Amino acid sequence: MSKPVKLRRFQAPIWDEPVIMEMGVPGRRGAHFPVAEDAVAEAVGGAAALVPAAMARPERPALPELSEPDILRHYLHLSQETLGMMGISLFGTCTMKYNPRVNERLAARPEMAQLHPKQDPSTLQGLLEGVHNFDLMLRELSGMDQFVFQAAGGADAAYTHTCITRAYHAARGELKQRDQIITSIQSHPCSPATANTAGFEVITLPLDEKGYPSLDALKAAVSDRTAALMINNPDDMGLYNPEIKEWVRIVHEAGGLCFYDHANFNGVMTKIRAAELGFDACMFMLHKTFGVPKGGGGPAVGAYGCSEKLKPYLPGPLVTLDNGRYALTDPGPHSIGKVREYYGNLQQVMKAYAWTRAMGLEGLSEAADISVLLNNYMEKELLKIRGVTRSHPDIDGWRLEMTRYSLEELYEDTGVTVADVQNRMVDFGIDAFWMAHEPWLVPHPFTPEAGEMWSLEDIDYWIAVLRQVSDEAYSNPEIVQTAPHNQAVQKVKVEPLEEPDHWAMTWRAWKRKRGVA
């Protein structure tokens, strides 16, 4: 039973901060650059003469004109108008983590921040050593034989896999024939989306009553057209497919590759290894499971690991250790080339390496235990709240690190939607929860993920806030439906944004559409 919790009197700062485009005074300056040295100017003349006339900019860009302190304060105000995980963020599927500040300090050092990717590898030995050592640690955790870090996010790693799938089958002369990728409706949208972008037809398997697709459905889907399976396990409802080894066997037998989207690794760290389950490749998100900051959406890293079989197809270069020297090695003629310029977000890889060293093997194992323990504790408490049910109520047993809930009952009883609840919870200093990926398999879904960084007190507070909002929904639904009330701005009117006359992605467009001078 969660303990009694006193709700905070939260109020977000309201600065009514103008858009910077309407701030400033002509002539104000926020930064100076030196003028060219006399000898330089003497030798080459003025800049105007160096710009080809046809390409000279006739007018200055209409950027704001502010002084440096004004700019600092403007952006500090905006940071204060951002709850930004200063509350409690149980954003499911994203595995909210503590991002150690020592790693930020280290990554800001010039020996990391001021490196150019085309420097001679002899000048990058420390970085390459860190990257290689982290590769070795991920190999231990997955059983794979090589990792690359070029993919700039989880979806980019999924894309990497689709490119490798093309190269693998092309090398066998089967690419034209193998034009289908199989996934499940519970996979992350990036799996079907990247498969489609790579030119494959997507087969999406529905779930059966056990919460994952049936073996029969898989058997019916595989054929000599199967290029690959792209699957996550557990899914984001906390359900683990116990037949996954059989799945891999079936897809391999049909000649397809098996890719394990390890987005939901947090609850199974050190418990299972992708290669031991038979997978050819897997992906870890360093900005989720491995303690790298999310930055509100990157820079991120999708660490892609594969078995020996797929190594020749990896994007390059690979970081290798040859006779005590770290090198950037071309994977060879079968390589897919590049999914992004250069080697990846290596400053983030170094942060992940540092985080993993700080956690250690026992720390990872403990984090998995805590995240599963807390999730099941939360589930027990949340299901006591009026209007809350969980997905697949008939499936007994413990979930892993996430549970999918539904507020359908609450909605049916009160007319309050899941979005209303989300908007009301932020009034108590709770960061938005994750609902669910499209398509919603349960109505009014939400998916908190407790992880290991939040204290039991935080979790109890989160539960108490949801209980409070549920009580409000039944007693005074309007307060929930008109929320938020304690935030930097009120509810944004999103419906018109689908209309060309209303959307405005820049200040220029807004001025034009609103007739602002």
Q: In the range 206-225, which residues lie near other proteins by CB under 8 A?
A: none
Q: Which of 90, 146, 221, 234 binds other proteins (CB under 8 A)?
A: 234
Cα torsion 356, 360, 365, 371: sign: negative
Per CB under 8 A, does 11 bind other proteins?
no
Nearest-angstrom CA–CA distance, 182 and 192: 8
Which pairing describes strands 146-148 and 325-329: parallel, antiparallel, or unpaired? unpaired
List the x/- string, 136-175, binding to other proteins by CB under 8 A.
-x--xx----------xxxxx-xx---x--x---x----x
Which two three-digit tokens encode residue 244?
């996954």
Q: What residues contact residue 306 under an 8 Å CB cut-off, 6+ apart?
A: 144, 145, 146, 164, 280, 281, 282, 314
Shortest distance (Å) from residue 304 CB to other proteins: 14
Binding window for other proteins (CB under 8 A); candidates: 29-37, 218-226, 251-259, 465-473: 29-37
Work out the number of other CB atoms within 10 angstroms of the CB of residue 66: 18
Is residue 336 at the binding interface for other proteins, with CB under 8 A as the rule? yes
**Could you say whether residue 348 binds other proteins (CB under 8 A)?**
yes
Structure-derived torsion over alpha carbons of residues 283, 287, 292, 298, reported in degrees to the nearest 10: 130
Candidates 10-18, 217-225, 251-259, 468-476: pick the segment binding other proteins (CB under 8 A): 10-18
Q: Judged by CB, which is closer to other proteins: 156, or 280?
A: 156
CB of 364: closest distance to other proteins in angstroms? Answer: 9
Q: Which of residues 464-493 bind other proteins (CB under 8 A)?
A: 482, 484, 487-493
CA atoms in the 13 A half-sphere facing the CB of 1: 2
User: Is residue 116 part of the contact set for other proteins (CB under 8 A)?
Assistant: yes
Binding other proteins (rule: CB under 8 A), the pick from 8, 11, 36, 249 is 36
Number of residues that make up the chain: 517
243-302 positions binding other proteins, by CB under 8 A: 244-245, 268, 270-273, 276-277, 285, 287, 291, 293-300
Question: Counting contacts by CB under 8 A, is residue 40 touching other proteins?
Answer: yes
Angle in degrees, CA 186, 191, 197, rounded to 5: 140
Euclidean distance between the first and final Cα of the chain, in Å? 59
Among the listed residues 8, 11, 56, 384, the single contact to other proteins using CB under 8 A: 56
- Give the C-alpha separation, 498 to 494, whole Å: 8
Pairing of strands 445-446, 405-406: antiparallel
Q: Which stretch binds other proteins (CB under 8 A): 217-225, 253-261, 337-345, 463-471?
A: 337-345
| Residue from 4, 324, 500, 515 binding other proteins (CB under 8 A) | 500
- In b/e form, how buried is each residue of 422-446, taking b as 16+ CB within 10 angstroms? bbbbbbbbbbbbbbbbeeebbebbb
Does residue 160 contact residue 285 with C-beta atoms inside 8 Å? Answer: no
Residue among 254 and 350 whose Cβ is closer to other proteins: 350
Question: Please, how many CA atoms are within 13 Å of residue 104, restricted to the half-sphere of its CB?
Answer: 7
7, 8, 11, 82: which one binds other proteins (CB under 8 A): 82
Site string for other proteins, 435-454 (x = CB under 8 A): --xx-------------xxx
CB 264 within 8 A of CB 93: yes
Cβ-based nearer residue to other proteins, 259 or 434: 434
**Binding footprint of other proteins, residue count (CB under 8 A):** 219
Site for other proteins in 301-320 (CB under 8 A): none
Among 12, 148, 205, 283, binds other proteins (CB under 8 A): 12
Residues 389-408 interacting with other proteins (rule: CB under 8 A): 397-400
The span from the CA of 209 to the CA of 363, in Å, is 35
Q: Of 7, 72, 220, 383, which lies in the binding site for other proteins, with binding defined by CB under 8 A?
A: 72
- 220 or 361: CB nearest other proteins: 361
